[in-house]
Amino acid sequence: LTGTSREQRAFQYVLAHAIPADPHHILQTFDQWCYHCEHLSCVGPDKGRIVERVLLERAPLRVLELGTYCGYGTVLLAQGLPPGARLYTIEGDPQHAAVAEKVIRLAGFSEDMVELIVGPSEEVIPRLQEKHGLKKADFVFMDHWKRCYLRDLRLLESHQLLAEGATILADNVLFPGAPHFLQYAKTCGKYHCKVHRASLEY
């Protein structure tokens, strides 16, 4: 009825209340909106702490995010990266990408540090090396359509985009669930698997 999407309304709230170039405060402001106004499918603070912990342990220099959505996860990842690191994030929905771009830049991250790529992941992944200069990813965060998890993991493998010892962190594999992805990760012999228990966002 307002003519604006939930994502746009959330951004307007963040723009009005968050401190620019303060990633932590921007995430907190998003959380306020999601708890008290409208639900968004962001990572949220509970699972966000898991992401931060794993990122701190790994200290990756080349990070790939599948599913930018509003940019919440992107800001969460970017604020935890070591100096000199670069983050590539892929979003298939142009309207979500437009919001995310504003959120990422509001948080103070330049295009040199965070590159937002708009397009379907199955089309973007094969072009990451040649077009975007991502040779190998040390860390992959999957938070897009669950049905795409296995397909995109196999695409990353077939295009040799995973560095040796790379970490793949996938959200919501139990609920709504990505059973084929989970089965493959556990049985293919290429990965050590760990399930992090968490509550649903907000």
Q: Provide CB contacts within 8 A for 122, sequence distance 6+.
A: 148, 151, 152, 155
Q: Which residues are part of the catalytic machinery?
A: 143, 146, 171-172, 201
- Looking from the CA of 38 toward its CB, the CA atoms found within 13 Å total 11
Rg (CA), the chain: 16
* Short-list 51, 20, 109, CA closest to 11: 20
Contact 108, 139 (CB under 8 A): no
Can you tell me whether residue 137 is helix, strand or coil?
strand
